[in-house]
Structure 1
Amino acid sequence: MDELNSTILGNEVLAIEIGAPITNLTDKISIDFRNMQYKGIPSCHSWNGDGKRPNWTQDGCLTIQNGDDITCECSHLTFFAILLVPLNESISSSDLNNLTTITRVGCGVSMFFLSIVLFMHFLFRKANASVSTMILIHLVSALFLLNFTFLINDVVASLGSPVGCKMMAALMHYFMLATFTWFAAQAFHLCVLLYARGPVGSRRYLLKVSIVSWVQPSAIVILMLILGKYGERAISASDSGDHVAFCWITDNNWHYIVNIGYYVLVFIFTFTIFIIILSYLFCLKRTAKQGDDAKTSTDKKSITVVLGLCCTMGITWGFAFFAYGPLRIPSYYIFTILNSFQGFFLFIYYHYNSDPRKVTKAQETPSSHSTLQTTMYNNENPYGNLTWQNPAGQTGA
């Protein structure tokens, strides 16, 4: 097997040679495989025999499928084999290049804006930060580290160090699970605020949430490190020899259980809270009596709130569930664009929610009308009733 642990059809490698290099044949040779049972996308590859491990290439070979029969037409003589690319890891070369570019640019942009959020918070706003803002900062930190490890992942994979690749995969996996957990923590916090209708009174509330959100993912990662489930993987293009190597989970079953299963639980919880909050905000909006101009302004703020909630709760990651059948490629693009630029959306959300000027305004105008408008942005408790004093005026944002 090669360094990418490619699956070889039938575990067979065929050698065709006559003792001298033969290339650029006018009449190509045909190698037929009849009545083959396989899962994945087959492609004919050749190897010149150099190196300790095969360096398979598709150059000079054409793959022809006819039902269960596969024919390889090649213009040279050497070692041949059919490699199988898993169905969920094969896309066209153009889509692979486009998605890779979008992801790298998006992650770079996200890291830039996330770093601005962290800079603004620790330099200017940390002293007056509320519990809600601190939870948001933890989420921003986890997402920043996830983007960073993702950007350097392929660089580490290219070094060819198995130990380094395993550590890289474990780090990126940890920050991804931590990000998912902070999505759930954000939703839980908003649910508590909605229920309490005021500041959270539990002692060391933030410390408890932080310990659970940062420590719980580490247990999963340590277990998978012990079981040896990390290593080098590749996403291959179905119409060429292009592939993107990266350090990740090598066992698909564990990937589905640990990642997909974990996020399904997080998504069900966060999406339920998301619907409850939207319903509550809609009721507040219907209750408020405003003019046409104010209504237009509130509509714009409502859109901002919805986008902010989607980002802070990780709702946009749910597009991965549509990555099947004809919706697979479109969902890849939507998923990649939204999540690559998630840092920018969180920057906008943080800017509006932690602006001290909005806190001052909320303190000076405690009326129902002003409270409703301010709480559309305020990160402390946007869900209190219309007669209750805005908690931003008590704790700061």
Structure 2
Amino acid sequence: MHASGDTCQDVNECLRSPDICGQGAQCNNTNGSYQCACPAGQNPSTGSWVQNQTTCKVPSINSSAEFEGIKEMCRNFSLQGKRSGESSSCCSFFNSTLDILMSVFGDEGTELSLEDATRSFNSILNSTSLWDGGDKGDVGSCVTVLLQSVELAALATALRSPEITTQNVTTESIAVETRLVTGACSQHSEVFTLRAYEEMMDVHCDTVTGAATQGLGAAAFISYSTLDSIISARRLSEGNLPACGKLEKSHLNSRVVSGALGDGRPINLSRPANFTLRHRQAKKEEEEALCVYWKVVAENGSWSPDGCTAVHTNSTHTTCSCDLLSSVAVLMAPTTVTESYPLTIVTYVGLTFSLLCLFLAILTFLLCRSIRNVSTSLHLQLCLCLFMADPLFLTAETRICSEVACAVIAALQHYLFLACFTWMFLEGLHLFLTVRNLKVVNYTSASRFKKRFMYPFGYGFPALVVAISAAVKSEGYGTSKHCWLSLERGFRWSFLGPVCAIILINITFFALTLWILRNRLSSLNADVSTLKYHRLLTFKAIAQLFLLGCTWSLGLLQVGPAATVMAYLFTIVNSLQGAFIFLVHCLLNRQVREEYRRWIKRFRMFSTNSQTYDLSMSAIPTTSTNTLLSLVGEGPEL
């Protein structure tokens, strides 16, 4: 500015010295001074403008933590290969990837365009030797580096050409579209749609500008035409999946796509981004579409459903809404069978009631000395196994996030339920021997039923079955839906086989018992009291049909039109097995009822007199009633 007479006239420094701001910079004249600025899409090299020092440069992401992390992974893998003396295909892949990234970011003297970078990655992706060799962990690391590298390269090359708003590159294996946004969004509801192959990504303008790199917002969308087959072939989809474990029989049914913003850092989006993916095969009615993203953990990756939800699906497409941008795909899984809510209520109520009855029965068998014998020991062991198995069954109905814990619960259930059936078999055998020897005067078969053989078989046989099953196929314990036995390769027959055999044997014992009783009843006279006892004996024999586990055969009849009826019958009858045991062996036993009366009477006396009593019970002499009365509950219980 200089004085002219009495007035001051501004001097335009930009016209006087066109290079005052440096090469490529823009000079804006102001009153008494000037301002330097960079063209759109470029930024000053220093925080504030310094004459003859500051230059304009294109925003770069070659100093980002993601890029440094990829370089470190590539170098570490190369060093490992050199130390081991092996030149693996994965090692070659890391070296090639690092060369491309260096070229993209200009460290090799030449800068690749988006098209050049995409074609370079396309060549790597088409290298069959890379994906055919190496173990699962190495291939997983290669996939992780590839996905991250293509995202960074797409963003870097897009930022290098700020004059081009949209770029599209399509090759044999990779398709890329980038979008640049400068300044504020023109419309509050503006949504950008990026397309690659047959897939789309919808992202809001505010989301792009919110992740802007030094004022320039960049978005990239990449679709891979062959990566899904590579991942499926290497079974890399087994990882962090729904149901807190691996999802059986799931498969990728879409291309793998990637979305990236700004400088490629994973960010939580202010508004979700939507991915519309085309199915490789038409979705079946019994299949469920699951949206998953590639989650990187410890330089490796696996599919995770966290943050991605399927908002719409039909036979050909699925739309995924994701709270973060990463690599996304669609998994197809068998539809989870929706269990009947009333049936679930019946199960929980029945088992809870049975647990209470089993607890009372266990206390009765332990404390009631007048009924202690071999038969009572059998009842007690069966009650203990059921009392431990039923809570595990209820626990297994819920989702257990730990695969190890789920497998342990499944193995424990396998053992305890097999133990239950083993003790049911021993009860059936003991009942048969007892009834068969009603014909003889000197009844001794029950005494021959030695405990030294009973306990090793009752607990040893199921342990042997579980040990063999775990040795043959340890991964058969625990499924994606429940902590139970796998349905693959017939593993469930390690439980169904022994159970069916025991049910058939017990049904045979039951039929023989009824035949013997029929002959016994036909030889009786019309004595009313004796006839009463034998009618009770018949009732208890029929009750054994439930107590010996024969009703579990209803579970094999859940097919056809009557499947629902059989399911309810099976659930009701077997969830109340503990209640049946308490009813038949405790409430219908005269000696047990008398013992209950003594306990109640003593409790009332204790409450009335408010003084301490010695509640220890003296031994009650065992009555010498005949064996027939013992079967109907009028003497020592079976």
- The two structures have a TM-score, normalised by structure 1, of 0.72
Which residue pairs with 1:221 in the alignment? 466
AA of the residue aligned to 1:164: A
* Counterpart for residue 193 of structure 1: 434
CA contact (8 A) 1:44 1:83 kept: yes
Residue 342 (structure 1) shift = 0.7
Q: Select which of 329, 335, 343 maps to 1:99.
A: 343
1:181 is matched with 422
**Matched AA of 2:560:** G
Match of 2:548 in 1: 313
Which moves more between the two structures, 162-171 or 135-144?
Answer: 162-171
Task: String of CA shifts for 1:102-141, please: whole Å, max 9, x gaps.
Answer: 222222211110010011121223x541212221221111
Seen in structure 2, the aligned counterparts of structure 1 residues 357 and 83 have a Cα distance that, compared at 3 Å, is closer
Q: What does residue range 344-359 of structure 1 map to in structure 2 within 5 Å? A: 344-352=579-587, 354-356=589-591
Q: 1: distance between equivalents of 2:420 and 2:591?
A: 27
Whether contact under 8 Å (1:231, 1:247) holds in the other structure is yes
Shift of 1:59: 4.3
Is the contact made by 1:352 and 1:377 (CA closer than 8 Å) also made in structure 2? Answer: no
CA distance in 1, matches of 2:454, 2:310: 54
Distance 1:181 1:354, change over 3 A: same
Equivalent residue in structure 1 for 2:573, among 338, 363, 371: 338
Would the aligned equivalents of 2:257 and 2:329 in 1 still touch at CA under 8 Å?
Answer: yes
User: Is residue 267–residue 315 contact of structure 1 (8 Å, CA) maintained in 2?
Assistant: yes
Question: Structure 1: how far apart are the matches of 2:591 and 2:361?
Answer: 15
**Aligned in 2, Cα 1:328/1:15: closer, same or farther, shift over 3 Å?**
farther
User: CA separation in 1, counterparts of 2:461 and 2:331?
Assistant: 44
Distance 1:340 1:144 in 2: 12
In structure 1, what is the equivalent of residue 216 of structure 2?
none
CA distance in 2, matches of 1:163, 1:352: 42
| Alpha-carbon distance between aligned partners in 1 of 2:576 and 2:517, rounded to the nearest angstrom | 26
Give 1:316 shift: 1.1
Structure whose residues are more often strand by fraction:
2
Please tell me whether residue 123 in structure 1 is matched to residue 123 in structure 2. Answer: no
Aligned partners of 1:108, 1:327: CA distance in 2, in Å? 27
Deviation at 1:177, TM superposition (A): 0.7
By how many angstroms is 1:80 displaced?
A: 1.0
C-alpha deviations, 1:16-43, integer Å up to 9, x for none? 56658444x9xx8763615x9x9x9322
CA distance change for structure 1 residues 147 and 10 in 2, over 3 Å: closer, same or farther? Answer: closer
SS at match of 1:249: coil
Q: For residues 109 and 349 of structure 1, what CA distance do their matches in structure 2 show?
A: 16
Write out per-residue CA displacement over residues 171-217 of structure 1, whole angstroms, 9 at most, x where no aligned residue. 11110110111111111112222333334265561221221111111
Inter-CA distance 301–259: structure 2 relative to 1 (3 Å threshold): same
2:384 to 132, 141, 152: 141
1:322 is matched with which residue? 557
Tell me what 1:82 maps to.
332
Amino acid at match of 1:84: P
Shift of residue 270, structure 1, vs aligned partner: 0.6
Task: Determine which of 498, 514, 524 is the counterpart of 1:262.
Answer: 498
Distance 1:278 1:6 in 2: 49
On the 8 A contact 2:419/2:462 being kept in 1, the answer is yes
Is the 1:162–1:231 Cα contact (8 Å) retained in structure 2? no
Q: Report what 2:305 is aligned to.
A: 55
Provide the aligned length of Structure 1 versus Structure 2: 345
Identity of aligned residues (%): 18
Does residue 41 (structure 1) correspond to residue 296 (structure 2)? The answer is no
Structure 1 residues 5, 276: CA separation in 2 closer, same or farther (over 3 Å shift)? same
SS at match of 2:554: helix
Shift of 1:257: 2.3
Q: Distance between the aligned counterparts of 1:303 and 1:202, measured in 2?
A: 24
Asked if the contact 1:32–1:72 (Cα under 8 Å) also holds between the matched residues in 2, the reply is no
**Is the CA contact (8 Å cut-off) linking 1:233 and 1:248 kept in structure 2?**
yes
Pairwise CA RMSD of aligned residues?
3.9
Cα distance between partner residues in 2 of 1:247 and 1:258: 15
Which residue matches 2:138? none
Match of 1:108 in 2: 352
Please say which of residues 309-318 and 348-357 is displaced more in the overlay. Answer: 348-357
Tell me: CA distance 1:224–1:195, structure 2 relative to 1, closer, same or farther (3 Å).
same
The superposition leaves residues 310-339 of structure 1 with CA deviations (integer Å, 9 ceiling, x where unpaired) of 232101111111122333333222211111
C-alpha distance in 2 between matches for 1:376 and 1:128: 12
**Equivalent in the alignment of 1:150:** 393
Q: TM-score, normalised by structure 2?
A: 0.47
Q: What letter is aligned with 2:551?
A: T
Give the whole-Å Cα distance in 1 for the aligned partners of 2:557 and 2:338: 18
2:483 paired residue number = 247
Change (3 A) 1:83 1:275: same
* 5+ residue gaps, structure 1: 65-70, 236-245, 380-391
Change (3 A) 1:54 1:285: farther
Question: CA–CA distance in 2 between the matches of 1:329 and 1:91?
Answer: 14
Using a 3 Å threshold, how does the CA distance of structure 1 residues 342 and 14 change in structure 2: closer, same or farther? farther
| Cα drift, residue 50 of structure 1 | 5.3
Alignment partner, residue 169 of structure 1? 410
| Distance in 1 (alpha carbons) for counterparts of 2:625 and 2:416 | 41
Contact 2:513 2:541 in 1 (8 A): no
Query: Do the aligned partners of 2:430 and 2:446 also contact (CA within 8 Å) in 1?
Result: no
The AA in structure 1 aligned to 2:346 is: I
- Do the aligned residues in 1 keep the contact of 2:354 with 2:577 (CA within 8 Å)? yes
Q: Structure 2 stretches of 5 or more lacking a match?
A: 1-237, 262-271, 297-301, 323-327, 595-619
Using a 3 Å threshold, how does the CA distance of structure 1 residues 182 and 329 change in structure 2: closer, same or farther?
same
- The SS at the match of 1:45 is strand
2-structure distance, mates of 1:248, 1:363? 46
